Structure 1
Amino acid sequence: MSKLWGGRFAKNTDVMVEEFTSSIAFDSRMYREDIAGSIAHARMLAKCGIIESGEAEAIIGGLQEILADIEAGDFSFEIGLEDIHMNIEKRLTERIGPVGGKLHTARSRNDQVALDTHLYVRKELAEIARLLIELEQAFVETAQKNAGVIMPGYTHLQRAQPILFSHHLLAYFFMLARDFSRLQGVYERTDLLPLGAGALAGTTFPIDRHYVAEQLNFSQLYHNSLDAVSDRDYILEFLSFASILMMHLSRISEEIILWCSSEFAFIELDDAHCTGSSIMPQKKNPDVAELVRGKTGRVFGHLMAMLTVAKGLPLAYNKDLQEDKEGLFDTIDTVKFSLTVYASMIRAMRVNAERMLSVVRNDFSNATDMADYLVKKGLPFRQAHEVVGKSVRYCIEQDKWLMDLSLAEFKQFSPLFEDDILEAIQVETCVANRNSFGGTSYSQVGQALETARQTMGKQQAVLDTYTKSKL
């Protein structure tokens, strides 16, 4: 097959080399972005008098027809044409004649692919932002629905102190809110127009890059042509953002898997989000949570792969940078799927409030509150800690809980104990008294819920601006 760049070459490309170097198998998904960029470029060429307005109209009409063909499934991508850019340009020339060849005036595939990728990532960031808000909403709704439900809080996976279940869920909300903030940074660095950089040094034609930026809703332009064609920082930032987000989803997954086990029995996942066993009829497996936990590793891998690709590249463009897309696309697909399925799963899960409360009524997670009681009576905390530690050891030896002790038994350990000690170490009291800012008390969690709603309102305003910038 004759190459659009083949004038320099006396031999055809080896078929294996064509297959090895071709990117059309994966970059064909950027056809909308490639056509949108080409239309904006054609308009700019006409505006600047580089091509005739009639030529630009013919080019734009041909591109719009090609877009319709692709979306109708009436377009065959060819490996021999290497990439999405060459496939579209070849079809355009076949359709409108030699004038189609004028489209590539004042640009290179280097700045063209950079533009396509910027447009594609920017579009997908808007969708991921929407899905993030949707998952946050699922956590807030579930926290509100289960307001007042008490569960054991853990450190080292050992029961530590009683907390509100809503408090636990909101911890994940605020993790996701930080993820959203990171996404905003990625979006800012993606919202840069590279087109006009040419292969690496700009162009001799009197182009208007600011006009193209307006056409494509870019808020900023690259100031350096070398940087424009070789920058993949925004992809690295996206992969870093995605890795942290998936790490958070993996942590949620781990707790979901634990909570729905028979040993915990804190929640039950809806049947729609579980699978069974081919041999054990009783099984109900949390496969969605396990898969999200597993897919986190592949996202981490894509980040490390891209860092490795970029680490030793001289300026400007190198073919190595073609390796930026498959991992990027797979990460986008993985993140979008994970966010979507998780929002549905969180909303549908059933919370076993009675089970969680029974657990904290039969453990020593109120021991810290017993120590705090003594401190409020004037005992230094380190001494109070020792008194309660001895009390716990006594209970273990006597097969009792702290709530089972009589006042006489309490006084064996300290004369400061009075009749109000049993009220002080009630589970509900332990929760209510943790009223420091950001704590697990009923009022603090109520304030946190309101903060979460306000945060989502601000995020929605940001998303609205992203949506307006979409082509």
Structure 2
Amino acid sequence: MSDLLWQKSGVETDQRIMRFLAGDDVVLDREFFLFDIEASKAHVEGLARIDIVTAQESADLVRELEQLGADFRSAAFVLDDRFEDGHSAIEARLIERLGDAGRKVHSGRSRNDQVLVASRLWLKAKLLELSSICAAVANICIYRAGRDVLPMPGYTHLQRAVASSTAMWFAAFAEAFIDNAWRARQALALIDANPLGTAAGYGVNLPLDREYTTRKLGFARMQISPIYAQLSRGKFEMAALDALAAAVLDLRRLAWDLSLFTTAEFAFVRLPAQYTTGSSIMPNKRNPDVIELMRASYASVAAARTEIEQLLSLPSGYQRDLQASKGAIFHGFHRGLDALALLPDLLAKLEWDAPRMRAAIEPSMYATDVAIEAAIAGVPFR
């Protein structure tokens, strides 16, 4: 790790302690790095509006930030253990290229301010992605509900209960994922608040143009209280994970259905070949590994939420404990969205075995219909 930007003269750092303090920040900040650059550009332009940097310095800083983003995308710049974290890497690069102008970029900010706004922007992007995937799943389910109207058994308590259809099955998940898309947008509306300029929870004695940075970064509103900006960290992440969890819970139940329906005992469904794998020991088998890992994905989302919830047993203000929330949201959204992203194609391509499903419908499954018809005719239902 290179010299620390906050290093105090006469104080020797212990590398073991520094590794512990940095944790996985350098690796995790690769995920948030481009959002940190965008927020830094807005901050620089805001500083120019209050004459902390000159117009020329602002133009130079924004140019170098844009170049850093391009270099990061092309891998010409690598965020690695030369740096403590992504924020330090940005500042070091600007100082290297622009000298004293680069040293001004941190005016009116803290590293906590930086991670808070970068992770907030990242969460907004992930919730938009979640809403889009859920809408795609709902659209495919609606399409197939109208196209595929095949009789199949309906189950309660895992027992054959009534006659149902593939249209009813698809329609159920269509409605579920419409709600999931709506819930993602609700979570997005909640967290769409700009924390840039709140520093470490007490603001700074500068007339920062926070209205400008709010517009520039595309936030719907501004977080007013610097202390609340810190209180919202973790709470907003949990709200985003709750929206993700709602969709992944439905994915888990859908995957359970397909796990059962693909067994030889049911044999109602044939999965696309690319969604199965061969057994390493049983050459007769094709295993539904994808839907099994879809089922498992909820565990990662639930674990992420639990990790953040446990971090929040804190007093008000900023605490370093919150650093651990970055890993939680990264792993939760990574596993959850990766699983959901495979679902539209799977639903579009799975095939029903119509004769097998029709053969599974037996006379007793019409008992409820017979009872209802008798009730309409005047026979007491009981």
Scaled by the length of structure 1, the TM-score of the pair is 0.78
Of 135, 138, 150, which residue of structure 1 is paired with 2:137? 135
Q: Cα deviation per residue 1:124-172 (whole Å; 9 max; x = unaligned)? A: 211222222122222222222202x111111101111112211111111
Q: Which residue of 1 aligns with 2:190?
A: 189
Does the aligned pair in 1 maintain the 2:130–2:244 contact within 8 Å?
no
- Determine helix, strand or coil for the equivalent of 1:278: coil
Aligned to 2:355: 354
Alignment partner of 1:56 out of 55, 58, 62? 58
Match of 2:284 in 1: 282
Match of 2:20 in 1: 20
Contact preservation (8 Å) 1:78, 1:87: no
Partners of 2:299 and 2:70 in 1: how far apart? Answer: 38
**Counterpart in the other structure of 1:428:** none
Q: What is the SS of the residue equivalent to 2:163?
A: strand
Cα separation, 2, equivalents of 1:326 and 1:200: 22
1:378 correspondence with 2:378: yes
Which secondary structure state, in structure 1, belongs to the residue aligned with residue 277 of structure 2? coil
* CA deviation profile, 1:218-272 (whole Å, cap 9, x unmatched): 1111121011134222210111222222111111011001111111111111111
- Out of 108, 111, 114, the position equivalent to 1:109 is 111
* Contact preservation (8 Å) 1:138, 1:343: yes
Matches within 5 A, 1:93-172: 93-147=95-149, 149-172=150-173
CA separation in 1, counterparts of 2:42 and 2:231?
A: 22
Aligned 8 A contact 1:28 1:83 in 2: no
Q: Distance in 2 between matches of 1:12 and 1:139?
A: 62
CA distance in 1, matches of 2:3, 2:10: 11
Distance across 1 between alignment mates of 2:112 and 2:341: 34
Contact 2:202 2:226 in 1 (8 A): yes
In the alignment, the residues of structure 1 paired with residue 378 and residue 70 of structure 2 have an alpha-carbon distance, to the nearest angstrom, of 80
Counterpart Cα distance in 2 of 1:36 and 1:182: 27
For 1:272, the aligned partner's letter is Q
TM alignment of 1:31-430, pairs within 5 A: 31-79=33-81, 81-147=83-149, 149-231=150-232, 232-310=234-312, 312-360=313-361, 362-382=362-382
Gaps of 5+ in 1: 383-471
May I ask how many residue pairs the two structures share in their alignment? 378
For 1:392, the equivalent position in structure 2 comes to none
Shift of 1:194: 0.2
* 8 Å CA contact retained: 2:297, 2:336: no
Do the aligned residues in 2 keep the contact of 1:265 with 1:355 (CA within 8 Å)?
yes
Verify the 8 A CA contact 2:268 2:357 in the aligned structure 1: yes
Q: How many percent identity over aligned positions? A: 30
CA drift at 1:78: 4.1
Residue 380 of structure 1 deviates from its aligned partner by 0.8
Q: Which amino acid aligns with 1:86?
A: S
Greater displacement, 69-78 / 189-198? 69-78
Q: Is the 8 A contact 2:131 2:180 kept in 1?
A: no
8 Å contact kept, 2:4–2:84: no
Shift in Å, 1:62: 1.5
**C-alpha displacement at 1:210, in angstroms?**
0.4
Return the index of the structure with the highest Cα Rg: 1
The alignment partner of 2:36 has SS state of helix
Deviations 1:404-426 (A, max 9, x none): xxxxxxxxxxxxxxxxxxxxxxx
Q: Is residue 21–residue 82 contact of structure 1 (8 Å, CA) maintained in 2?
A: no
> Contact (CA 8 Å) 1:66, 1:92: kept in 2 or not?
no
The CA distance in 2 between the partners of 1:112 and 1:169, in whole Å, is: 44
Counterpart Cα distance in 2 of 1:369 and 1:77: 65
Contact 2:148 2:167 (C-alpha < 8 Å) held by counterparts? yes
The aligned amino acid for 1:102 is: K
User: How far apart, in 1, do the equivalents of 2:358 and 2:108 lie?
Assistant: 69
Tell me the SS of whatever aligns to 1:223: coil
In the TM superposition, residue 61 of structure 1 has moved relative to its aligned partner by 1.5
1:465 is aligned to: none
Moved more, 37-46 or 69-78: 69-78
Shift of the alpha carbon at 1:364?
0.6
> Partners in 1 of 2:256 and 2:199 — Cα distance?
48
Q: Which deviates the most, 16-25 or 208-217?
A: 16-25
Letter in 1 for 2:190: R
* 1:102 Cα deviation after fit: 0.6
Match in the other structure for 1:29:
31
Q: Is the 8 A contact 1:110 1:229 kept in 2?
A: no
**1:78 and 1:345, CA in 2 relative to 1: closer, same or farther beyond 3 A?**
closer
Distance in 2 (alpha carbons) for counterparts of 1:241 and 1:372: 39
How far does residue 376 in structure 1 lie from its aligned partner after superposition? Answer: 2.3
SS at match of 1:79: coil
Contact 1:152 1:356 in 2 (8 A): yes
Aligned-pair distance for 1:80? 5.4
**Cα distance in 2 between the residues matched to 1:71 and 1:356:** 50
Letter in 2 for 1:273: Y
Counterpart contact for 1:27–1:83, Cα < 8 Å: yes
